[in-house]
Amino acid sequence: MKYALLCYNDEAAVFSWTKEEDEAVMARLNIVHEKWEKAGKLKPSIRLLPTSAATTLRKKDNEVLDGPYAETKEQLLGFYIIDVDSLEEGLEFARELTAANPGGAYELRPIMIYNEGAR
């Protein structure tokens, strides 16, 4: 069984870390990553850019919003990783998904670190 492991934390605090603090956290995390990667149980891992870089396509009305999707009455049901040339192209992809799928929203969050894992 594969799982998506989603990380939550206070973004305001995380992005206030100094370079040293950030590196220290990453170093500690990397020890865990390596262990699970060696066991063949860690697939791609991803660190996202802050929500200020997010754009949301609300499926209702096909409306595009600057900013993250923060509606709490709907839950995260899955996610894609896409490799597109521009935000516009990403939105196009999301619009096609929208047409195929009623309700909800798609949030486009640029990726900060993309680790293939299990190389």
Partner 1 sequence: MGDLAWIDAALVSARPQAVAALLRYFRDLDLAEEAFQDACLRALKNWPTNGPPRDAAAWLIMVGRNAAIDVTRRRAKQTALPDEGTLSDLSDVEEAVVQRLDEADYRDDVLRLLFICCHPDLPATQQVALALRIVSGLSVQQIARAFLVGESAMEQRITRAKAKVAGAGVPFEAPGAAERAERLASVMAMVYLVFNEGYSAADPASDRASLCDEAIRLGRLLLRMYPSEPELMGLLALMLLQHSRLAARFDAEGNPILLDDQDRTLWKRAPIQEGLALIDKAMRSRKPGPYQIQAAIAGLHAVADTPAETDWAEIDGLYAALEQHSPSPVVTLNRAVAVSKLRGPEAALAMIAPLAERLDKYFYFHGMRGAMLKELGRTKEAREAFNQAIALANTPAEAAHIRQHLDSLAQIK
Task: State the residues that interact with partner 1 by CB under 8 A.
Answer: 10, 12-18, 21, 49-53, 55, 64-68, 86-88, 110-113
Q: Residue 116 in contact with residue 54, Cβ under 8 Å?
A: no
Describe the chain by its helix, strand, coil percentages, rounded to 5.
35, 20, 45
- Yes or no: say if 39 and 117 are a contact pair by the CB < 8 Å rule: no
Least separation in angstroms between CB 97 and partner 1: 19
Q: Which is nearer to partner 1, 3 or 72 (CB)?
A: 72
Q: Which is nearer to partner 1, 24 or 38 (CB)?
A: 24
Q: Which is nearer to partner 1, 37 or 69 (CB)?
A: 69
